[in-house]
Amino acid sequence: KMIPRAMVKGLRARSGRKGFCRGYGEYVADFEDIIKAAERIRGIAKETPVLTCRTLDRMYSHEEGSRLFFKCENFQKTGSFKFRGALNAVSALVEENPHLKSLRVVTQSSGNHGQALAACAKVRDVPATIVMPHTAPSVKKAAVMGYGAQIVE
């Protein structure tokens, strides 16, 4: 399903600006960005289910007839929604820099984001370095290394 253009314009209007995030900047995706992202991740990211629960609707919906929807990204590769964002980012980096002979992605994470970036970098054949605290769970470190990323503590 498509996201109504009015919703996207509303997001942009509330933010007051649109631009690329460098450091602590702000970025609000426009409609075309969303379509491009969907195309980049199609066929690689899983289409996870959207579930409902009538009991929770009754308990937590504040208006009559309101519904709660649960997007089950825990079924996504690497177990979280972060795979989608990382895949889009790495794919865009590769698409936008075909002239570069070597790319490397680097992030700091103690868990899910590092794991997601490592997995996506492997899919796109881009080396990854994940900076992780020495206190990060060993299972997360093992997953990052399992995707072929280098860990720096």
Question: What is the set of active-site residues?
Answer: 82, 110
Pairing of strands 150-152, 128-131: parallel
Beta carbons of 132 and 144 less than 8 angstroms apart: yes
**Helix, strand or coil for residue 40?**
helix
How far, CA to CA in Å, does 115 sit from each of 35, 79, 137, 139, 143?
Answer: 25, 9, 12, 10, 6
Tell me the C-alpha distance between 105 and 132, whole Å: 14
